[in-house]
Amino acid sequence: MTDPNLLWAPHAWLPDGWQTQVLLRIGTDGRWAHVAAGVARPPEECTVLQGPALPGLVDGHSHAFQRAFAGLAERGEGQDDDDFWSWRDRMYRVAHRITPEQLRAIASQLYIELLRGGYTHVCEFHYLQHREDGAPYDDPLGLSWALADAAEDAGIGLTVLPVLYERAGFGQAALRVEQRRFAMGADAVWAACERVNAARRPNLDAGLAIHSLRAAAVRSIHRLRGLAQGFGGPIHIHVAEQLKEVDDCLQATGMRPVEWLARERLLDARWQLVHATHVTPGEIDAVARAGAGVVLCPTTEANLGDGLTDLPGWLAARQGAVALSIGSDSNVTRDWREELRWLEYGQRLGLRRRNVAAGAGAGPGTPVMATAQRLWQRTLAGGAAAAAQPLWGLQAGARADLLVADAGDASLLGIPTTHLLDALVFASPGLPWRDVMVAGRFVVAGHEHAAQAPVAARFESVMAELWSARGAVLAGGG
C-alpha cells in the first residue's frame, strides 16, 4: 500500500542545493518530519515524484482584486504621458465596484494560478475594506474573509496584511472620494490583524501593512508600531516606487522615503519595503543595518513604468544582509520564474551586460554563483521572511510545500542536473508545475487543480459583471 506521507524524488533542491535520491516524510502536522538525500532505492510504499522537486515560493506582495484588471489597462486614453498615476485612476474605478462575493471568485482564480506558477503562500496587501460608499460591512472584515475563503478554495497559504490608509497624499487630511473604501486607521488595522490570527484557520495568518508614507500620518505610523510592540508578524509598506513619491516626500519631510523610515528608527527585521525602486546607496545600507527586507515586483514595476531598482546594491549590501523576496503585485504575471527572469533581464537592459545577479557584490576570489541559483536562494529565504515563516524549504520542521517540475518539459530535455534551475528560469516559457503540494497535500496533480473548472467559470461570470458596457466605461477601457 502506498503511503501518501512518504515521497521520493530523483532530484530535489535542499538547503544546500540539488541533491539526488531524496526521501521526504510528511508529519501529521503538515510539516516535513524527515528529509534525507542519498536513499538509492525508494521504499516500496512511497510515492515516487515524476520530476525534479523544489520548495514552493512565497509571493511577497499581491493585490488579489487587481487580477480582474490584468490585461485590461494596456490602451492609452489619448494622453502621451500614461504612467503609474493614470493607471491608478483607472484601477480605482474597478476597485470601487467589487463585492465580497466577487472578490472571493477573483481571488480563488488568482490563487489557483499562483499555485500553478509555483507559489505556495501569498502575502495579500489588503486595502479594499468597505462598501462602495465607504460604510463598513456588517462584519468589517467581510472582504478579508472573502480572501481567506478563496485561499481555502485554492489550497494556498495566506498572510492577510490589513493596511493603514487614511489620506490621499502628503499634506492632505483625508482620502479622495474614490479611495473611501480603503479607509483604515491604526487601531482598526491592529484589531483586524488580531481577529484574523485568532480565527486559527489552517495556513492562514495576518500581519500589518502601511500603504505608504503619503497615505498615512506620522502619528498613525507610530501608533501602529506601538500597538505592535512584541508582535512577531511581518509589517509591509509600499515605498519609493515612483519618483514623484520621492519628490513629494522630500518636499514634505526634507528626507527621502527610506531615509525617513530609517531616521525615525522604525525599521527592524519585521519590516518589508515593497518596491524600493528609487533608493540611494546610503538608504540600502540603512535597510541592511536595520535587518529589514525588500519585496521586488519586476513584472508589475515594468508594466507600470516604475523604473529599475539597484539590484546589485541590494545583493551586495553588508554581505547579503537584506532579505529579498518577489511579489506578483498587480498580478499581470502569476509565475515566479518569470519574475526572476525579468528581475535579471531588467538589469541586463539597464546595465548592458549579462549575468548581473551572479557577480553582484562578489569580492576578489569569491566563487561566483549561477544567476538563477543566487536569485532563487535569496528570494526563497526572503519570501519566508516576508511571511514571517521561521523555517522554509525542504527541511525538517518547515511546512511541507513542494513543487514538481515536468520532466518531459521541452525546456528541461537534455539539461544536466547542475543546470536544472538555470533552465527552469531562463529557458522560457516552460510548462506549469506538474504537481504542487501545500502543507502535505497535493493541490495540483498532473497539472490539474481539482477546483479549477468551477472556479474559472465563476471568475468568467464575475468578469462579465465587472466588464459590462457600464463597467468598461467606468474602468476607462475600450
CA atoms within 13 A of residue 300's CA, in its CB half-sphere: 27
Triad 322, 323, 325: Cα angle to 5°? 135
Q: How far apart are CA 345 and CA 24, in angstroms?
A: 35
Q: Which of 205, 310, 329, 435 is catalytic?
A: 329
- Residue 27 CB neighbour total at 10 angstroms: 14
Pairing of strands 402-404, 53-54: antiparallel
Write down how long the chain is: 478
Query: Is-catalytic flag, 275?
Result: yes
Cell triple for 9 = 524524488
Cβ neighbours of 414 (radius 10 Å): 6
E runs forming strands in 63-203: 119-126, 157-164
Active site residue 329: yes
Identity of the residue numbered 235 = I
Quote the CA–CA distance of 183 and 127 in Å, as a whole number.
8
**Residue 262 to residue 253: CA distance in whole angstroms:** 13
Neighbouring CB atoms inside 10 A of 268's CB total 11
The x, y and z cell numbers of residue 456, run together, are 474559472
Return d(Cα 375, Cα 346) in angstroms, integer: 14
In 45-93, DSSP assigns E strands to 47-48, 53-54, 57-62
Quote the CA–CA distance of 123 and 387 in Å, as a whole number.
6
Catalytic residue among 61, 275, 278, 449: 275
Known catalytic residues are: 275, 329
